Amino acid sequence: MTTTTAAQNGNDPIGYAFAVAGAILFSTKGIFIKLAYAHGVSTEMLLSLRMLVALPVYLVILVTILRREDKLVRALTPRIVLTSMAVGILGYYVSSYLDFLGLNFVSAQYERLVLFTYPFFVVLFGVWFFGDRMVWAVVPAMLVSYGGLVVIFGWNLAINPDGLVIGSLLVLGSAITFALYQHLAKRQMLVLGSALFTCIGMSTAAVCAIVQNLVLSGPGSYLTLAPEIWAYGLALGVLGTVLPSFLMNAGMARIGARATSSTAAFGPIVTIIIAVIVLSEPFTIFHAIGTALVLAGSVLFARAERQARYRVK
């Protein structure tokens, strides 16, 4: 076979470092959302605050890139721009909105574990729609992880079933749409680079979220917000959006969607620790068993993926 680069093979340590850092920062999102919900803020308002903080950053970076990178400017055909905008809406508006809605019904720990299943959908979508080869060795890993989710779901169903099913479906929908986004985004980044694509996609998603809240609540609604809500919006915009989006996309551009998805194991661990300490969420033996199964499934999944790549070479 022809020789490929480390980045194409998914063996680039810098790419993995970017992806891990992005996963850890993304994991704080659910904590800030839960803290804001405790103050009675609506889902649409909170999502718009997140994007209102993030939008100026992306626009400044976008203008800077366009002024300095003539080659990238020439690549900005109407089709490329519109496609990047659509992919950004899918990954950063639709997926985020479903996740924010789901957190009205489920705990931050459970939300992160459900989102943690998106690598499995990355594999399935790759096989179904993008010509990837199916790695059957990952199937047992998927079953182990979903077994862990069933354990925690069962505990929640027995203790606090209100809204559990709808919350689980909403967060699962977020995981599915984000997995599809990863495949589509990878193809856009091959043309535009990770930074330019991220700016276009996130800016478009931000406009969608802000317009949605303006239509529902009006511009005056922002003037009634408490300082704490603005602080959570700032944290969501910077720590939960801007930094991790660039880190994740930079990692994806170097190591690909599958390898990037395999680094997501750090997210649930960080979320669980913070949720127990800050939100006082329970962590029972059932949570421990379920979390262990989800993480074990991820480890098996990543190992099967690596072995499959080495066999192909």
Contact 188, 249 (CB under 8 A): no
Cα gap 188→191, rounded to integer Å = 5
State the burial class of residue 3 (Cβ atoms within 10 Å of its Cβ: 0-12, 13-18, 19+). Answer: exposed
Q: Which amino acid is at 76?
A: L
Question: Residue 226 and residue 242: Cα distance in Å, rounded?
Answer: 23
Q: How far apart are CA 240 and CA 25, in angstroms?
A: 6
pLDDT, tens digit only, all 313 positions of the chain: 333 344 444 567 888 888 888 888 888 888 999 999 999 999 999 999 999 998 998 899 999 988 887 777 787 888 999 999 999 999 999 999 999 999 999 998 888 888 877 778 888 888 888 777 777 777 888 888 888 888 888 888 888 888 899 999 999 999 999 999 988 998 888 888 888 898 999 999 999 999 999 999 999 999 999 999 999 999 998 888 888 877 887 887 787 766 776 666 677 777 888 888 988 888 889 989 988 888 888 778 777 766 666 565 5
Residue 9 confidence (pLDDT): 46
Mention every residue, 6+ apart, whose C-beta is less than 8 A from residue 30.
Answer: 99, 103, 108, 111, 112, 271, 275
pLDDT of residue 105: 94
Q: What is the pTM of this model?
A: 0.82
> Are the CB atoms for 215 and 45 separated by under 8 Å?
no
- Are the C-beta atoms of residues 90 and 273 closer than 8 Å to each other? no
